[in-house]
Amino acid sequence: MFNVILFGPPGSGKGTQSEKLIAKYGLKHLSTGDLLRSEIANQTPLGLEAKKIMDKGQLVPDEVVIGMISSALDANPNVPGFLFDGFPRTSSQAEALDKLLDLKKTSINIMLALDVSEEEIVNRLLKRGETSGRSDDNNEGIIRARITEYHAKTAVVADYYRKFNKVSMVRGEGSVDEIFNSLCKEIDKKNKEY
């Protein structure tokens, strides 16, 4: 298997680039944000609890997202690899993911980290908020809270993978296709080593 983490702050383009990467490499896309929004849409108890936290721009508890990822891994036994988007977002999630992949005799091959400035992120998300219907996008205070949460709890996750030499930083500003080409280059380099 070939397993990728697409990493970066809110609005850095993880979802946009994931769509293109899964089409090219045949990976299974696992986005905890999308999984949570589907729970919200179905008005499940988990979704209703998660919505309250997401609407404040905070992270939902580790157990919740780790449980979701564990089920998703079990539900997809025969894929060529996974593309994790928006997960892991804390050190505990990173450790839990390693253990889950270990049980499946596989591991993370590469973390692609998108580098985008804070002003660009806020502009992108405010713009999307005009049409997305995402309640965490239409208010600059909530967007800033998401960025603060990212710096407080998520940025360290890159350090975790850096210890294993798995992180490739990619400039996340410019056209979608330019960024996609840079991401593919990093994957193809890693694929050759592997």
List residues near ligand AP5 by CB under 6 A: 8, 10-16, 32-33, 36, 53-54, 57-60, 65, 86-87, 89, 93, 124, 128, 136, 146, 176, 179
**DSSP secondary structure of 91-115:** HHHHHHHHHHHHHTT----EEEEEE
Q: Of 20, 134, 144, 190, which residue is the catalytic one?
A: 134
By residue count, the chain amounts to 194
For the bound state, the minimum distance from the C-beta of residue 85 to Mg ion, rounded and expressed in Å, comes to: 6
Nearer to ligand AP5, 79 or 122 (CB): 122
Rounded to whole angstroms, how far apart are CA atoms 187 and 59? 28
Residues forming a β-bridge with 72: none
134 binds Mg ion (CB under 5 A): no
Our answer to whether residue 146 is catalytic in this structure is yes
Contact in structure between 96 and 41 (CB atoms under 8 Å) = no
For the bound state, the minimum distance from the C-beta of residue 192 to ligand AP5, rounded and expressed in Å, comes to: 26
For Mg ion, the binding residue among 3, 7, 11, 15 (CB under 5 A) is 15
- The tokens of 29 are what? 């896309």
Our answer to whether residue 162 is catalytic in this structure is no
For the bound state, the minimum distance from the C-beta of residue 23 to ligand AP5, rounded and expressed in Å, comes to: 15
**By C-alpha distance, which of 144, 112, 141, 128 is closest to 8?**
112
| Positions marked catalytic | 14, 89, 128, 134, 146
